Amino acid sequence: MSEYDARGYLIAYDIADARRWRRVHRLVSGIAVPIQYSVFLAPCLTRRELDQSVEQLRAQIHDKQDDIRIYPLPTPPTVYFYGPNPLPAGEGLLQEKPLWVPIQALLD
């Protein structure tokens, strides 16, 4: 992947301290959409943007107490969910068709 190719990432974190949590939350909220309490979808980051974000996040956490995970997503991704869709109806972030597919659709 070149530094200019963009892709989607799933970002999840578990931060032990409330002050550090607020800082991490603010940083991640600037680059990604919240889909659960501490789970975010970054729909389109270049390698350079990802590296810059990781550097900023590392500066905010305690290596022994906090955990941040960043998972690259396949293109295009399909996300199966159970419960309310975190995005407005019919809206997808990474592709033309809706990104979110209810788990019930798998059972039908």
Residues annotated in a binding site for Mg(2+): 14
Cβ distance 40 to 53 under 8 Å? no
Which parts are annotated binding residues? 14
